[in-house]
Structure 1
Amino acid sequence: METLILATLFLVGSHVVPGLPGMRSSLIEALGRRMFLAVYSIVSLAALVLLVWSYRTADAGTWLYLPSVEARTLAVLAMPVALFLLVGRLTTPAGSPEPVGIYRITAVPGSLSVLLWTLLHLAVLGGTRQVIVFAGMAAIALFSLVRNWQAASPARRRAGILPFSGMIRGREKLVWNEIGWGRLLLALAVWAALLLLHPVVIGPDPLAYLL
């Protein structure tokens, strides 16, 4: 279990350290952009491989808590929100300082989607190994969220962090044609595919808790 903890900390560090204020620019200046990206990619991949290996070789450990049926049901039903934010982020250009599409709903859709994904999994996975890994992923997502929020333009910050919070406060408005039904349907399709493939690829069947 100690190896898994160290591997998780290594993964967190490989994402957090290059994102610290001034660290990325200093590394790029010292190594050059291409070399920095190459080293960063190698270290990130090595951290991920080490995490997977240490997870598989670690003892199952004890259950730190027993997730309730309600928590499992909520995780299944709330997952489309995380997928909708992710689809919106991946299909919406992020270069404009003015909020467009998903950025009217939240200023940080990508990192918020990953954070929500990790928290939903933490709610339903109480094993020691699982909690260690997903807690590390949640830390990475939270760091990314804070960094992206700080880097967001004042116009984008009008949307706030929580979905629709800027609209509730009257600082932003929903322009649905900037999002479109296609992105929503794609998110639902990905959700359905994940539910069907989850017991085949990963193991547990999330649908079992909806019956």
Structure 2
Amino acid sequence: MTWLIVATIYWLGIHFLVAGPLRPAIAGRIGETGFAGLFSVLSAIGLAGLIFAWAAASYLELWPPGTLLGYAPLVLMPFALLFFVPSVTQKNPTSAGPPAAGSAPLPVFGITRITRHPMLWAFGLWALGHLLANGDLASLLFFGSFLVVSVNGMFSIDRKRRRSMGARYEAFVAQTSILPFAAAAGGRQTVSWREIGWWRPLAAVILYLAIIHVHGELFGMPAIPGLTMGG
């Protein structure tokens, strides 16, 4: 458990400090490309540390498993995957990497009409569902750290893009929203299912069913509570 606490602090530290207030100084010395490489290495180390520490951590129950909370991943993961698939198959000004160059308006297309942070919503929903379902301290630290980083990342990315892109990003923000469908509900945007395409939701459903099928073998626990490993 001690190593998991250390890994959690490290993971939060690199996202809140290195990628936050320390970023300008570090990037000023090694450049944006160098910073991106450095942060990728630090993140890989942090992710590996979290996984190994969580797997080895002792079990301390916080709330009893087997309740309705055990079904939280089954409910939340379809939505997570519906955000995830478009986030990796459509361009988005909030994606990792250097800001889009030029002076042309940033495109609002597909999933960004629903939310400008689809990937972070995907990871946040994944983390929340598994945090609720597991109900132990180690899972609270492990999944909670991903949840916190995902939520903070939405606001952090907006701040960084505003600084680097100015009015271009402000115009993008004015047409989009963090909260899914909020821009459409406020009359600032129109959702286009044609831009998202039929195959992306289908891919998300197929991926969801595949995860349910292999979850027990890969992670030692069936995706459906009460289902035995054999069926």
TM-score normalised by L of structure 1: 0.88
What letter matches 1:142 in structure 2? V
What is the rounded CA distance, in whole Å, between the counterparts of 2:36 and 2:176 in structure 1? 31
Worse overlay, 115-124 or 68-77: 68-77
- Aligned match of 2:48: 49
Task: Describe the superposition over 1:109-164 as per-residue Cα deviations: whole angstroms up to 9, x where unpaired.
Answer: 11122111111111111111111111111111111111234435333443322221
Matches within 5 A, 1:172-211: 172-208=189-225
- Say which SS state the counterpart of residue 93 (structure 1) adopts: coil
Spell out, residue by residue over 1:164-190, the C-alpha distance to the aligned partner (whole angstroms, 9 max, x if none).
Answer: 122222221111111011111011111
Q: Secondary structure at the match of 2:180?
A: coil
3-state SS in 1 of match to 2:115: coil
Displacement of 1:204 in angstroms is 1.3
Q: Would you tell me which structure has more helix in proportion to its own residues? A: 1
Deviations, residues 185-210 of structure 1 (Å, cap 9, x unaligned): 01111111111111010011122458
Q: Which amino acid aligns with 1:32?
A: G
Checking the alignment, whether the CA contact within 8 Å between 2:76 and 2:126 is kept in structure 1 is: no
**Equivalent residue number for residue 167 of structure 1:** 184
What does residue 64 of structure 1 align with?
A: 62
Q: 5+ residue gaps in structure 1?
A: none
Contact residue 99 and residue 156 of structure 1 kept, 8 A: no
**Of the candidates 69, 80, 83, which is equivalent to residue 81 of structure 2?**
83
CA separation of 1:50/1:73 partners in 2, compared to 1, >3 Å: closer, same or farther? closer
CA distance in 1, matches of 2:48, 2:73: 27
Structure 1 segments (4+ residues) deviating >6 Å? none
Aligned-residue Cα RMSD (Å) equals 2.2
Distance 1:104 1:31 in 2: 35
Task: Give the AA of the match of 2:8.
Answer: T
| 1:207 aligned counterpart, secondary structure | coil
**How many Å separate the matches in 2 of 1:162 and 1:209?**
34
- Tell me if structure 1 keeps the 8 A contact 2:114–2:176: yes
After TM superposition, the score normalised by the length of structure 2 is 0.81
Q: Is the CA contact (8 Å cut-off) linking 2:65 and 2:133 kept in structure 1?
A: yes
Q: Distance in 2 between matches of 1:124 and 1:40?
A: 31
Count of residue pairs brought into register by the alignment:
209
* Unaligned runs of at least 5 residues, structure 2: 94-104, 162-168
**Pick from 135, 147, 150: which aligns with 1:141?**
150
